[in-house]
Amino acid sequence: MATSHRDRCAIAGIGTTDFSRASGRSELTLVAQAALAALEDAGLTAQDVDGIVRCDMDNVRHNDLVDVLGIPQLTYWSEVGPGGVAPPGMVAQAVAAILSGQATTVLVFRGLNGRSGRRFGQSALSEQRVGGAGSYDELFAPYGLVTPGQIFALMARRHMLEFGTTEEQLGAIATTCRARANDNPAAQMHAKTLSMDDYLGARLIADPLRLFDFCLETDGACAVVVTTVERARDLRQPPAVIRAVAQASTADPQPGIQFPTLFRESITSLPATAVSKVLYERAGLGPEDIDVAQLYDCFTITVLMQLEDWGFCEKGEGGAFAASGAIGLGGSLPINTGGGHLSEGYVHGMNHVLEGVRQIRGSSTSQVPGAETCLVTATPLPPGSGLILVADR
Amino acid sequence: MTGTPRLLPVTDDVDTGGFFEAAARGELALRRCNGCDAVLHVPRAYCRACGSWEGRWEPVTPTGTVYSWSVVEHAVHPAFPAPYTVLLVELDDLPGTRLVGHLPGRPELRAGAPVIAWFEDVDGTVVPQWRLARS
């Protein structure tokens, strides 16, 4: 398969707000701040933007930003979802728009008041009768299965049953991400260390998952600017070249967004199995070529399964791989170097894209020396997306 | 299940209503394709295997085994005070086909433990439930 988009576009600018539990600002203000920061980082202004890609769950729309930022004219906009699988897919839309001549400079963003506004960990079900209309909630919610954390708890238990995965192995992921956050002043958990004893001593939420197996709740926004590599070379920052992007589904994703995924043939792997195959092929790279990875970490078990499904170890060995130190700084595959969703903040996959760019620029607070390839994944439950960034050579 | 108010299912959805109609008759039924007998789960009208739009609700033996479980210790919905246990049940008649269940508290569980369905009537809405079989 010829990959016509390989190495042709780049992320030229990144911008973020602070990450907090109570921003005191509207989501529109957060996104506008992140977008302006990304443009400033690239040496561009709102005058230069002609494309916008958003996440389907964002409350901020393209026309909001056109008006608030003073973008003269958009010639392209689109959205990707559901939710957390979007960010690399959003960058993929930007690449497609640019290479098809529909836009030259695309703003990609995600912003949410994830703690002070609607909280993901709370059941959204407020009716006495639930389900119908294609949601399939009627087969799940009446049994008390009402949150993503409970789904991943069932998957984690099954992974333990099939492969002997342990709580300590999940804990190795939580403590590794926390150590990266301790190095990152922008991380929500920057000042709080996490030992294995802390991890194991924390309260159970949905067993076998404990408090620190869950990602943070965050108010914040992140944005990136995508343009051609040629143009990015003339801008303020060294380009983070987009080696390849991919969205991919499996043959049995199940309808809906999350609960029916428990009826897939396997609940110990994720659609990362499909996304990884397509992305590696498009990139002409394999897991052995990845210097550093930002793996979507709504929960620790999500990371553990992705270590397997992205080919960094065999199926069933994700726990041992994580506990070996391989995912730490200095390991064979340092992950989530800003602290990830578990400890930096939960901007629904988008902060992972920014951290990937920092690694390619050499500006991460947990910089992997000489990193030239960074994988960014967004492969939790639904069919997902991923991208590989490389240094400009 | 304990606690009020209850969270009851929509029972008249075009694609899934037959599951609850069967439950009201005291049967555990899954959607099957009339063209090729494929199990259509979660229930849907079209069979991707043979292209048929014709299907039926076929009763299965109301027994299964525990495939996975989680003791929920942190309550997130007023209808479900913690602790309670969410079950993933694999049906004996259709290996690989699963349903969800609920057990109160923190029962002693193991993978493969046998479970039996029963039918709970909550003011006329019948919901299939599971209990541990004492075998």
Q: Which tokens go with A215?
A: 């990602």
Instruction: Show which of B22, B42, B60 is a domain's final residue.
Output: B60
In a domain, B20, yes or no: yes
Residue B56's beta-bridge partner residues? B32
B69 with B125, same domain: the answer is: yes
pLDDT score of B5: 76
Residue B3 pLDDT grade (very low, low, confident, very high; cuts 50, 70, 90): very low
Reference B80, options A63, A262, A146, A178; nearest CA is A146
Chain B residues with CB under 8 Å of A205 CB are: 72-74
Provide the Cα torsion A44, A45, A48, A49; round to 10°: 110
What is the rounded radius of gyration, in angstroms, for the C-alpha atoms of chain B? 16
Residue B127: domain span: 61-135
* Low pLDDT (below 70) residues in chain A: 1-2, 123-124
* B87-B93-B96-B98 Cα dihedral, nearest 10 degrees: -30
Same structural domain, B93 and B134: yes
What pLDDT does residue A124 have? 64
Interface of B with A in 37-96 (CB under 8 A): 41-42, 44, 67-74, 76-77, 79-80, 84, 86-88, 96
- B108: in domain: yes
* CATH number of the domain within which B97 lies: 2.40.50
Q: Which two tokens stand for residue B36?
A: 């090729």
pLDDT at A128: 81
Picking from B42, B68, B97, the nearest residue to A157 by CB comes out as B68
| Residues B70 and B132 both lie in one domain | yes
Q: What CATH architecture applies to the domain A9-118+214-391?
A: 3-Layer(aba) Sandwich (3.40)
| pLDDT of B4 over the 70 cut | no
Q: Is A346 a catalytic residue?
A: yes
Q: Is A200 on the interface with B (CB under 8 A)?
A: no
Contacts of B98 in chain A (CB under 8 A): 262-263
CB A349 within 8 A of CB A334: no
Given A76, A199, A280, A346, which residue is catalytic?
Answer: A346
Same domain, B49 and B115: no
Q: Is residue B37 part of a domain?
A: yes
pLDDT in tens, B47-68: 999 999 999 999 999 999 999 9
A267 vs A262: CA distance, rounded Å: 6
How many Cα atoms occupy the beta-carbon half-sphere of A159 within 13 Å?
33
Residues B41 and B95 in one domain: no
Handedness of CA A71, A73, A75, A80 (dihedral sign): positive
Domain ranges in chain A? 9-118+214-391
In whole angstroms, give the CA distance from residue B42 to residue A136: 8
Contact predicate A44/A36, CB 8 Å: no
Tell which residue, B69, B61, B70, B14, has the closest CA to residue A134: B14
Inter-chain residue contact A154 with B69, CB threshold 8 Å? yes
Question: DSSP string covering A243-256, please?
Answer: EEEEEE--S---SS
Are A123 and B77 a contacting pair at CB < 8 A? yes
**Whether residue B53 is found in the same domain as residue B67:** no
B1 is a domain residue: no
Q: Is residue B28 part of a domain?
A: yes
Residue A143 appears among annotated catalytic residues: no
| B104 within domain boundaries | yes
B4 located within any domain: no
Supply the ipTM of this predicted assembly. 0.97
Same-domain check for residues B22 and B70: no
Closest-CA residue to A15 (of A242, A354, A273)? A354
Query: Which helix or strand (DSSP H or E) is residue A306 part of?
Result: helix A300-309
Q: How many CA atoms lie within 13 A of A253 on its CB side?
A: 19
A185 touches chain B (CB under 8 A): no
Is B31 found in the same domain as B67?
no
Number of residues that this document lists for chain B: 135
Helices (H), A100-166: 148-163
Q: Is residue B48 part of a domain?
A: yes
State which H helix or E strand residue A294 sits in. strand A292-294
* CA–CA–CA angle A119, A124, A127 (5° rounding): 150
Q: A377: which 2 tokens?
A: 């994944």
Interior angle at CA A322, CA A318 and CA A209, nearest 5: 80
* pLDDT tops 60 at residue B1: no
My answer on whether omega of the bond before A208 falls inside 30° of 0, hence cis, is: yes
Three-state secondary structure readout of chain B: CCCCCCCEECCCCCCCHHHHHHHHCCCEEEEEECCCCCECCCCCCCCCCCCCCCEEEEEECCEEEEEEEEEECCCCCCCCCCCEEEEEEEECCCCCCEEEEEEECCCCCCCCCEEEEEEEEECCEEEEEEEECCC
Let me know whether B77 and B96 are in one domain: yes
Each residue's pLDDT tens digit, B65-124: 999 999 999 999 999 999 999 999 999 999 999 999 999 999 999 999 999 999 999 999
In contact, A140 and B99? CB cutoff 8 Å: no
Rounded CA-CA distance B39/B95 in Å is: 11
* Residues B45 and B69 placed together within one structural domain of the fold: no
Domain count, chain B: 2
What per-residue confidence (pLDDT) applies to B135? 60
